[in-house]
Structure 1
Amino acid sequence: MTATINSLPARIRRSARISGRFVLRSGMVSDTYFDKYQFESDPLLLLAIATEMARLIPAGTEVLAGLEMGGIPIATMLSQVTGLPAAFIRKEPKEYGTCRYAEGASLAGKRFVLIEDVVSSGGALSDSLAKLRADGLEPAGAICVIDRQTGGREALATHGLSLNALYTFDDIERA
């Protein structure tokens, strides 16, 4: 991948990459963190990301299912770019109202893809996959903005879920 100062990976790096000591969701410690809320809260950068991510959506997808919390703005913008409806997957079902963990467009009987921001161990996707499968729902795959290349893709493959990333950690670091 050839990156320029104004390439999308470089823009993501400038916006979201921070250095320090960080404990990731997986429990791993890293000296690099991608503050995804920085690129998700920038409307022009998020639009550019969604426009590029649209090519990763599997053919025949009917619904984009964003994981709480970082996958939701990406799924929403992808919905705008593609015209596909969006669903939002909570970490836990609501304790009031509908008491659902999946909101928005129905996933029942639909071909859907899971949307995530940054994947490290794949834990959030695995947790969501277990809930969905318990309800007889099977995603066509998962896509994310950044694969940190720390075992998430491989862990998800053991559960039969493919992961496609717009960029890898290395792509962003080289930008």
Structure 2
Amino acid sequence: MSATSTGLAARIAATACVTDEFTLGDGQVLDSYFDEYRLAADPRLLHDVADAMSASVPEGAEVLAGVELGGVPLVVALSAATGLPAAFLRRAPKRYGSRRQVEGAAVCGRRVVLVDDVVRSGSQLLAMARMLRVVGAHVTDALCVLERPLGGRLLLDEHGVALGSLLNESDLPAPTEVPS
């Protein structure tokens, strides 16, 4: 069952797609965006998204790894839906305490599936795949809630990571205005 046929796309759009100015890390300014925190804050929607995404977890996956910060609530919900252990990925190693970049489940020697909220260029997921490969994980797949058509799928494919997305940008109805 697809996210669009169940009305899940409309629920995601109504909750998490907003029209408002949003500045990306590279300085690009968007006039609408996907607010993953709104999705994560709605327990029923997060549960339903995880259930829908669970059908796309590849056979043989051993660990689900969520990219900070948007991928973390998704990977926790997806872990609960699938029974697979979760790992949590920082963009850089923690500067204190454990000083780890990977927390949670062990990834070395295991088939790890990356999980994130939105994929645009794919550069963040590629960086995480490379880091996981350096520590001994086998990374060939990534999952996201929303794929924006900005080259991410192609970049990841070029580096041996197949992208599965619950929704593409074209699946979503128009964003709603941000409440004042």
Give the structure-2-normalised TM-score: 0.89
Q: CA contact under 8 A between 1:26 and 1:121: conserved in structure 2?
A: no
Alignment of 1:130-149 (within 5 A): 130-149=130-149
2:137 and 2:4 map into 1 onto residues whose CA distance is: 39
| Deviation (angstroms), 1:159 | 1.7
Q: Which residue of 1 aligns with 2:18?
A: 18
Q: Which residue of 1 aligns with 2:51?
A: 51
Alignment of 1:127-166 (within 5 A): 127-166=127-166
Query: What RMSD over aligned residues (CA atoms) do the two structures have, in Å?
Result: 2.0
- DSSP 3-state at the match of 2:172: helix
- The gaps in structure 2 that reach 5 residues or longer are 176-180
Deviations 1:37-66 (A, max 9, x none): 100111000000000000010001111111
Give the 4+ runs in structure 1 shifted more than 6 A.
none
Deviations 1:114-162 (A, max 9, x none): 0000111112112212212222322130000000111111121122211
Q: Which residue of 1 aligns with 2:114?
A: 114
Q: Which residue of 1 aligns with 2:178?
A: none
Q: Which amino acid aligns with 1:168?
A: N
Q: Which residue of 2 aligns with 1:65?
A: 65
- DSSP 3-state at the match of 2:139: coil
- The gaps in structure 1 that reach 5 residues or longer are none
Do structure 1's residue 75 and structure 2's residue 54 form an aligned pair?
no
- DSSP 3-state at the match of 1:15: helix
1:78 and 1:38 map into 2 onto residues whose CA distance is: 17
| Deviation (angstroms), 1:20 | 2.9
1:100 and 1:64 map into 2 onto residues whose CA distance is: 17
Q: Which amino acid aligns with 1:46?
A: L
